[in-house]
Structure 1
Amino acid sequence: MPYNKLAELPDSVKDHLPKHAQEIYKEAYNHAWEQYADPDKRRGDASREEVAHKVAWSAVKNKYEHKDERWVRKSA
């Protein structure tokens, strides 16, 4: 189910990612939720929710990296 607010994100996201990364996660998740509604667009037997979470984490990892126990923005 899509997220309307950052407060609705899973604890694994809210408790570890900075606000900007949470925003990236939310937008990517919501977009993937819509994009992969049709099971034929997903690989294997992954659920719509699983795919959306994978896409969201991938989007975060494009801009942030896990360093010294925290998520920090990647250098340009």
Structure 2
Amino acid sequence: MSTLTKRATVYFDPAIHRALQHKALVASRSLSDIVNDAVQQALAEDAEDLAAFEERVHEPLVSYEAVLKELKANGRL
């Protein structure tokens, strides 16, 4: 973990907290490191999703009704 850190209070469900404590013990890591890594992964996934949306911004929009109509016309519904 970086030397420049911020402190925050996070409330976990007791069972999740217990599982995190066990995981930290088994992995010889701090609970903070495990949670920090999980949050970084979630933010990285969000960044990938946003990039994918940006790449597709100029694609034509297709309504839900149009998709259903096409599926029905093709005998899939």
TM-score, normalised by the number of residues in structure 2: 0.38
Higher strand share: 1
TM-score, normalised by the number of residues in structure 1: 0.38
Bigger radius of gyration:
2
